Structure 1
């Protein structure tokens, strides 16, 4: 069994049980964004968290070592056609260089870590239409000279 099969089993069980990423995250005391990423195969889970998810969703414990395994963080390099994911690519395409410039101005030459990182997604009600608020929080890692 691999992460793709684990992902499919989790999504099926999640649908059948009516659980949400929020409810699952609260149940195991983890961020729902991180949990979704791990369940979708892009992060590894600590064994106790993997066991807890399997128990909550009624899944076979054979998934625990798969969910705990280090993932291959790869994705299709083609521009996605899913509208939501495409818009995120569009944001990086339009504002990526701007963000890089502002970050360098404020912090110096370096990057924002995607390892020492957290992300949160909130819904902001607005009379003009509800808003999606994505907060990304990554440690700044300066490039070193040698």
Structure 2
């Protein structure tokens, strides 16, 4: 079965069993955002963690094995999806300013997306409205001179 079909089947099984991503993450002891990315094929779980997910969701051997396969991260963002579009818009509007501030704080370099964590939480705004708080936390990698 191809990657997209396996991911679709795993998601269908998770939703059918009414298991949240947070519950899957608790089962394997990992961050929910990381686990969501693994369930979507953009990260991998260890074989032991994949087995725990398989047991929780009643997955077959192929589905369990796919969770610990090395991912190919070649998908381009779907810019028509409103949530993804707004994230791209944030980078478009604030990216240059964030780059300038990062250079002032850290010097010439980049934030790692490998030595990295991402957290998302629901918070309440000053007027009682629901707000989405996203924290990107990456190791600073200084450019080398040679």
Q: Give, in whole Å, the separation in 2 of the partners of 1:100 and 1:91.
A: 13
Partner of 1:93: 92
Given that residues 110 and 141 in structure 1 are in contact (C-alpha distance below 8 angstroms), is that contact kept between their aligned partners in structure 2? yes
In structure 1, stretches of 5+ residues that fail to align are none
Q: Give, in whole Å, the separation in 1 of the partners of 2:65 and 2:14.
A: 19
Given that residues 25 and 32 in structure 2 are in contact (C-alpha distance below 8 angstroms), is that contact kept between their aligned partners in structure 1? yes
Q: Give, in whole Å, the separation in 2 of the partners of 1:69 and 1:24.
A: 18
In structure 2, stretches of 5+ residues that fail to align are none
TM-score normalised over the length of structure 2 = 0.93
Given that residues 44 and 67 in structure 1 are in contact (C-alpha distance below 8 angstroms), is that contact kept between their aligned partners in structure 2? yes
Given that residues 6 and 67 in structure 1 are in contact (C-alpha distance below 8 angstroms), is that contact kept between their aligned partners in structure 2? no
Structural RMSD (CA): 1.4
Q: Quick check: 87-96 or 44-53, which moved more?
A: 44-53
TM-score normalised over the length of structure 1 = 0.93
SS of equivalent residue, structure 2 residue 61: coil
Partner of 1:117: 116
118 and 35 in structure 1: CA distance in 2 versus 1, 3 angstrom threshold: same
Aligned length: 145
